[in-house]
Amino acid sequence: MPRAFARVVLARALAAARAPVARAARRLAVARPPCAAKSTAAAAASGRGGVRVAELQKRKKLVGGDVVRVGDEVSVECVDFATSGEGVCKLANGMVLLCDGATPGEVVRARVTKLRKKLAYGAKTATERAAPNAVTAPCPHYEQCGGCAWQHVNYDAQVRHKRNRVVDVLARIYKAGEDAEAKVGACVGADETSRYRNKMEFAFASGTRGKTVVGLRPRGANDSVVDLSGGCLLQSEEADRVLAAIRETLERADGRLEAFDRTSGEGTLRSVTIRTAGGERGGEKAVMVDLATTASPNELKTGPLAGLIDVVSKVPGVVSVVHTSVPSEAELRRAGGGRSSKFVKGGTTTKAGSTKKVEAVFGENKLVETLNGIDFELSSASFFQTNTEQAARLVRQVREACAFSGDKSEIVLDLFCGVGTMGLSVASDCSRVMGWEVVPEAVKDAKRNAELNNITNAKFYRVDLARLNPSKGPKGLLTTPKGKELPMPDIVITDPARPGMDSALIAILRTIGARRIVYVSCNPATQARDLLLLTAPSEGADDVAYELKTVTPVDMFPHTTHVESVAVLERKA
């Protein structure tokens, strides 16, 4: 690996290690005002938070004079959003407080819930001065439910903050500085900010009076459920009808359908996933329901669970009911000291060979979704963008970013291709598409989708893009699992998961030297880190450097903190 590139790899590792909240603290850094120290003895005697004298003295030193304790109520102004969605506030001594529910411009009364060395966490207890962008959340469950983070924020402000987040990481991690503003285009907002998700997973839990409830996890907890009696505004009305039918059935079952206990592995009902598809061509939406339970085959045929399946299958629009068998094993263990949640992932029991058996108990394990005229056949396990309307816009953004010549001569390399969403969508513009994906089921789906649409110039292969050998150069990537060498691509589309691309993959892309790279990301921070590597100075003829042209944010998930971004890079002359 060239020395300069290795140095950039080291810089990448250092950048990735920096905590977003620490960066927020630096942005908010101000001169700390002098203030009289509180008596540590009195503070210890009060017993608030159970903090010892030595610990109070240590915290006092860290925060510059004022002792801040768990349980304290403070009046603070929110000045920004953190990447995790909380409001970034500043205490009088300069310490940063991340406050759940606070909005930029709002002055809130907040209770301190957790302390770290240079950071405090809090929960809003009252609004002292309303924010200019604050709105009333439309969902009756918003205050408790963890499904949304920003329903209390005007949508235009949400889009603005998401663009600012992309500008911020580009300036700091990619080192664009003041040029970041010019590189980032307008955020592609959504027309529909409710009923936009085509897939939602709900959990079951034990409720009051021994009855089972279904809903979403509350904020900061993974062992309980918010009973969505008013439905969920994120999913379609067709899906809401399914959820309502399940709730009514559970109410009538009077405890005979037990919820799965994630801490012990006991119980039956673990989760239900409701997926909708169709509507782009004017037809009615079709619904697939996937029930994940520990039930035996006999319980699927007779008894309360069979009755639930029968009720769900009769809901208008439901064309498929799938059962996913999960093992009767604990999925959570009790958290150690200092954690805000009582339980964390990682069960205490493990059974060798535990598998999830999937079978259709009504209809077929199949649903067809249409995106920009391309049909995609989806199974219950298939990954597909959960906002169909915005996914169509994202694909159009990628297609435009590829800047095809019009003569259909280009060869496209589609990395992390999934079910073929990007590659199949551009197949009509190029001579050949080569798709790489590690998940075998996704590769099968991609091949089937190519056949479904009579697309013959797109081939998909199973390759682990995190296990490449950069010393092989282009052959390290452009060789099929059976050893066949593939042609050099003109355009690369890459759409990695949140961790971004491995440094070995980036090194190989630089040796390939495609004229254009279109980088789609669901994590602007790791994207900016990878852009820094792709644009590092060239070390010779076999090491191509790129120039970043534009970055376009796309809001795929209104009312959440998540944002996608499409970066366009061109090979330097």
Of residues 340 and 318, more confidence is placed in 318
Which pair of tokens denotes residue 164? 């600012």
Confidence tier at 5 by pLDDT (50, 70, 90) = low
Task: Determine the pLDDT at residue 110.
Answer: 95
Q: What is the pLDDT of residues 361-420, one digit of tens each?
A: 999 999 999 999 999 999 998 889 999 999 999 999 999 999 999 999 999 999 999 999
Mean pLDDT of 144-165: 93
- Enumerate the H helices of 19-152 as residue ranges: 20-27, 40-46, 53-63
Which stretch of 65-69, 294-298, 410-414, 565-569 has the lowest confidence by average pLDDT?
Answer: 65-69
Task: Determine the pLDDT at residue 28.
Answer: 41
**DSSP of 21-42, one letter per residue?**
HHHHHHHT--PPPP-PPPPHHH
Could you give the percent of the chain with pLDDT greater than 90? Answer: 71
Query: The pTM is what?
Result: 0.84
Task: Determine the pLDDT at residue 22.
Answer: 44
Task: Determine the pLDDT at residue 360.
Answer: 96
Q: Say if residue 169's pLDDT is above 70.
A: yes
Contact 502, 468 (CB under 8 A): yes
Confidence tier at 284 by pLDDT (50, 70, 90) = confident
Which stretch of 84-93, 186-195, 467-476 has the lowest confidence by average pLDDT?
Answer: 84-93
C-alpha distances in Å from residue 130, one per residue of 98, 106, 136, 152, 330? 18, 5, 11, 11, 44
d(CA 387, CA 277): 11
d(CA 493, CA 348): 41
CB atoms within 10 A of CB 480: 14
Which stretch of 20-34, 135-149, 410-424, 482-496 has the lowest confidence by average pLDDT?
Answer: 20-34
Could you give the percent of the chain with pLDDT greater than 70? Answer: 84
Contact 152, 101 (CB under 8 A): yes
Q: Say if residue 329's pLDDT is above 70.
A: yes
Q: Say if residue 46's pLDDT is above 70.
A: no
Task: Determine the pLDDT at residue 331.
Answer: 83
Q: What is the pLDDT of residues 435-484, one digit of tens each?
A: 999 999 999 999 999 999 999 999 999 999 999 999 999 999 999 999 99
Active site residue 522: yes
d(CA 69, CA 67): 6
Rounded to 5°, angle at Cα 561 from 556 and 565: 50
Helix or strand run (H / E) with residue 119: strand 119-129
Q: Of 105, 160, 91, give the one whose Cα is nearest residue 133.
A: 105
Q: Say if residue 350's pLDDT is above 60.
A: no
Helix or strand run (H / E) with residue 432: strand 432-437
Which stretch of 12-16, 63-67, 476-480 has the lowest confidence by average pLDDT?
Answer: 12-16
Task: Determine the pLDDT at residue 36.
Answer: 34
Contact 481, 489 (CB under 8 A): no
Put residue 195 in one of left, alpha, beta given phi > 0 → left and psi -120 to 50 → alpha: left
d(CA 64, CA 360): 62
**DSSP of 328-368, one letter per residue?**
S---EEE--TT-SSSEEE--S---TT----EEEEEE-S-EE
Contact 441, 381 (CB under 8 A): yes
Confidence tier at 83 by pLDDT (50, 70, 90) = confident
Which member of 78, 139, 402, 522 is catalytic? 522
d(CA 349, CA 180): 49
Q: Of 493, 491, 561, give the one whose Cα is nearest residue 523.
A: 561
Q: What is the pLDDT of residues 302-325, one digit of tens each?
A: 999 999 999 999 999 999 999 999
Q: What is the pLDDT of residues 237-246, one digit of tens each?
A: 999 999 999 9
Which pair of tokens denotes residue 370? 């249409």
Mean pLDDT of 513-520: 98
CB atoms within 10 A of CB 316: 9
Average pLDDT of the chain, as a whole number: 86
Of residues 49 and 551, more confidence is placed in 551
Q: Can you tell me which residue has the tokens 């939602």? A: 200
Which stretch of 158-162, 264-268, 410-414 has the lowest confidence by average pLDDT?
Answer: 264-268
Contact 103, 77 (CB under 8 A): no
Task: Determine the pLDDT at residue 347.
Answer: 52
Q: Say if residue 62's pLDDT is above 70.
A: no
Q: Which amino acid is at 464?
A: D
Which pair of tokens denotes residue 25? 């603290």
Task: Determine the pLDDT at residue 14.
Answer: 42
29 exposed, middle or buried (CB, 10 Å; 0-12, 13-18, 19+)?
exposed
d(CA 314, CA 291): 15
Q: Which amino acid is at 372?
A: N
Give the 3-state secondary structure of residue 469: coil
Q: Say if residue 227's pLDDT is above 60.
A: yes
Task: Determine the pLDDT at residue 24.
Answer: 43
Q: Say if residue 283's pLDDT is above 80.
A: no
